[in-house]
């Protein structure tokens, strides 16, 4: 009887189908599990395995008529919530089950203030006075460790960092004191330090409120850090369901074993000097290929954006996004940029392709790019391609994905007819997709599949440099490992170079020749992969590595940090003069930067 009372949610035979041109396809097949009070159940698996569909089914939020519940039950306190009519289900959402959706920016209305949106969640199930709603909203923002909550209520989503937006979404999910919190990839798009804060925050709220958590993730490090029990899914079916310690120590299913084997672990490259794939090919002493000179040279790159205000819309403040950085990339070399959100990584990548205004000097294969118009940039863009951070925003929703991958080849006149079709089919196979999928549209793919389409598009012109902006952040660990292997195989075959932008330190360790650590628009440390990961000199570099989740549930779980640490603002007055920096050469090209003030 005591065991039965601990069961909060019991799911039995959950089945979901989606409509396709060739008939209904089952995406969740007969799934059964239970969620106990005060416990965390993690649902893990690859993109498209049915994790998010399971969560949406429990909330009766399946995208209709494309998807439908085909069978099963989900009993919450003895009541089957899957059989409830919409009017009754609205009382369950928020009051009994809160949900954190995968992408905070799309979960928040861009034209409503944080106060309006959070207030709506507070008052969703009853009439409450304006004063009470505001007081409760402030309390919620304070509970999720957002500083200056009164001021944040007046702000809009675009004025907050990614970590702050995720905290607001968590606050909205907790507004009605639910018994269950469903968190769908709550930390995927966040850098490692903010991810650590968010995960610790969820654990603290779970302890303080006694709620149960259904956590959906593809990050096995997050699973090890958060789960009591783990349910592994593949192709819509459960392949294994065990306590977290059993999953990591003695996995039974081959698929679970492959997932764990694909997890990048920080420190596993210790004592080696080459990226992982080259080591696997037993080319231990092979350096990055050297040409007649650097493929890319960047000197004193500076990017600043004016913020306009007043009736005449004149500049009133200035964002110092990138401040005087310099670097070079050799043929066949991978230079990784790491750092927290807002430090200038993506801005640096966009400057290389002339997508934003910048100051300084950039040369690609010896050709200066400053001031070039679109037509003059075209030959350079054939050599330099970019994989953008958001795969869905990178793909035209009105075009078939095969046409999207073919488009660069058409623009540059490199292929047509059957040759074009064969080339696109080859690219699809290289990134782990089927040529049969070429006729689909972007919305018909999972997030990880869309990112692979973007990678295929970037590879279509056989460029000399790819700027990969968080190119594997949206991928589950097994597909991530495949894509990283693919990128390194192509580099080994063609001497292509990468500017690899990432917040995942374990991935960076596997793929890099050199690493530059960015903080507030500057490099604070630069050196070889061995130097940065085995002998970090700057405290910020050490902070980034300490925040990486470790895929080992036997280790103590990190304590909650009482106050969230956000990056200092990079917005300053127009007369602000950035401080000079000293450079300390540790030896062997290992450079550490520090402010002149010490």
User: Domains of the chain: which residue ranges?
Assistant: 2-261, 276-550+568-595
CATH superfamily, domain 2-261, is P-loop containing nucleotide triphosphate hydrolases (3.40.50.300)
Closest C-alpha among 301, 391, 398 to residue 353: 301
CA distance 129 to 12: 41
User: Going by DSSP bridges, is the β-strand pair 180-184/97-100 parallel, antiparallel, or unpaired?
Assistant: parallel
Asked if 2-261 and 276-550+568-595 have one fold, the answer is yes
What whole-number distance in Å separates Cα of residue 433 and Cα of residue 429?
5
Q: Distance between CA 300 and CA 322 in Å, rounded?
A: 9
Q: Are the C-beta atoms of residues 532 and 538 closer than 8 Å to each other?
A: no
| Residue from 566, 546, 567 nearest 558 by CA | 546
CB atoms within 10 A of CB 422: 12
Residues 377 and 386 sit within 8 Å (Cβ to Cβ): no
C-alpha angle with apex 423: 417 to 424, nearest 5 degrees? 95
SS3 170: helix
Instruction: Tell me: cis bond preceding 65? Omega within 30 of 0 counts.
Output: yes
Please state, as a whole number, how many other Cβ atoms lie within 10 Å of the Cβ of residue 522: 21
Q: Cβ(16)–Cβ(30) under 8 Å?
A: no
The CATH class that applies to domain 276-550+568-595 reads alpha beta
pTM of the model: 0.78
CA 224 to CA 333: how far, in whole Å? Answer: 33
Single out the residue of 591, 570, 586, 579 nearest to residue 524, CA to CA: 591
Q: In this structure, how many other beta carbons lie within 10 angstroms of the beta carbon of residue 7?
A: 14
Cα distance between residue 424 and residue 404, in whole Å: 10
Supply the pLDDT for residue 289.
53
Please report, in tens digits, the pLDDT of each residue of the chain (598 residues total): 334 457 889 999 999 998 877 888 899 999 999 999 999 999 998 877 889 899 999 999 988 888 899 999 999 988 999 999 998 998 898 889 999 887 766 778 888 999 999 888 888 767 778 888 889 899 888 878 787 888 889 888 887 766 678 888 888 888 888 999 999 888 766 777 777 877 888 888 888 888 999 999 888 888 988 999 999 999 999 999 999 999 999 999 999 998 888 887 777 777 665 666 555 554 434 444 555 689 999 999 999 988 888 888 888 888 888 999 999 999 999 999 998 877 889 899 999 999 999 999 999 988 999 888 888 888 888 899 999 877 777 899 999 999 999 999 999 888 889 999 999 999 999 888 899 999 999 988 876 788 889 989 999 998 999 999 888 876 777 777 877 888 888 888 888 999 999 888 888 998 999 999 999 899 999 999 999 999 999 999 998 888 888 788 877 776 655 454 555 677 788 888 888 777 888 878 899 987 654 4
């Amino acid at each position: 009887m005591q065991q039965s009372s601990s069961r909060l949610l019991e799911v039995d035979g959950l089945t979901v189908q989606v409509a396709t041109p060739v008939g209904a396809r089952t995406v969740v097949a007969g799934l059964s599990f239970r969620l106990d009070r005060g416990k965390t159940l993690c649902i893990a698996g690859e993109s498209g395995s049915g994790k998010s569909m399971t969560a949406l089914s429990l909330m009766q939020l399946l995208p209709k008529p494309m998807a439908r519940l085909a069978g099963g039950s989900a009993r919450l306190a003895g009541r089957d919530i899957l059989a409830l009519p919409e009017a009754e289900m609205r009382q369950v959402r928020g009051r009994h089950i809160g949900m954190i959706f995968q992408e905070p920016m799309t979960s928040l209305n861009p034209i409503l203030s944080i106060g309006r949106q959070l207030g709506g969640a507070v008052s969703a199930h009853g009439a409450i006075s304006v004063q009470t709603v505001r007081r409760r909203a402030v309390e919620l923002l304070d509970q999720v460790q957002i500083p200056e909550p009164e001021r944040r209520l007046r702000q809009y989503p675009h004025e907050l960092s990614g970590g702050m937006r995720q905290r607001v979404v968590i606050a909205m999910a907790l507004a009605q004191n639910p018994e269950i919190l469903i968190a769908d990839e709550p930390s995927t798009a966040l850098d490692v330090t903010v991810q650590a804060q968010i995960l610790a925050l969820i654990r603290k709220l779970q302890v303080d409120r006694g709620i149960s958590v259904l956590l959906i993730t593809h990050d096995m490090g997050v699973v090890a850090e958060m789960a009591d029990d783990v349910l592994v899914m593949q192709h819509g079916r459960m392949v294994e369901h065990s306590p977290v310690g059993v999953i990591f120590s003695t996995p039974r299913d081959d698929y679970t074993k492959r997932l764990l084997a694909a997890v990048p672990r920080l420190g596993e490259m210790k004592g080696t000097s080459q990226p992982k794939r080259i080591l696997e090919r037993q080319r231990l002493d092979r350096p990055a290929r050297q040409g007649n000179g650097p493929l890319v040279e960047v000197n004193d790159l500076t990017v600043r954006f004016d913020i306009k205000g007043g009736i005449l819309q004149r500049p009133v403040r200035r964002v110092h996004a990138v401040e005087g950085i310099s670097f070079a990339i050799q043929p066949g070399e991978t230079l990784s940029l790491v750092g927290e959100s807002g430090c200038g990584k993506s801005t640096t990548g966009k400057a290389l392709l002339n997508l934003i205004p910048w100051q300084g000097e950039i040369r690609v294969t010896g050709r200066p790019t400053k001031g070039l118009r679109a037509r003059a940039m075209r030959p350079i863009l054939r050599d330099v391609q970019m994989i953008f951070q958001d795969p869905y925003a990178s793909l035209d929703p009105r075009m078939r994905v095969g046409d999207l991958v073919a488009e660069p080849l058409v623009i540059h006149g490199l292929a047509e007819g059957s040759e074009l079709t064969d080339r696109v089919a080859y690219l699809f196979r290289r990134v782990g997709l089927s040529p049969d999928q070429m006729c689909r549209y972007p919305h018909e793919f999972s997030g990880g599949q869309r990112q692979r389409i973007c990678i295929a598009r970037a590879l279509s012109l056989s460029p000399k440099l790819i700027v990969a902006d968080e190119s594997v952040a949206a991928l589950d660990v097994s597909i991530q490992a495949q894509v990283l292997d693919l990128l390194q195989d192509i580099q080994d075959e063609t001497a292509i170079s990468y500017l690899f932008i990432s917040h995942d330190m374990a991935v960076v360790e596997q793929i890099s020749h050199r690493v530059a650590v960015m903080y507030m628009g500057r490099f604070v440390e630069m050196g070889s992969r061995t130097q940065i990961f085995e002998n970090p000199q700057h405290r910020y570099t050490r902070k980034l590595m300490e925040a990486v989740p470790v895929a080992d549930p036997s280790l103590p779980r990190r304590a909650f940090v009482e106050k969230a640490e956000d990056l200092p603002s990079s917005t300053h007055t127009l007369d602000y003069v950035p401080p000079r920096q000293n450079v300390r050469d540790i030896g062997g090209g290992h450079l550490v930067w520090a402010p002149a003030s010490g």
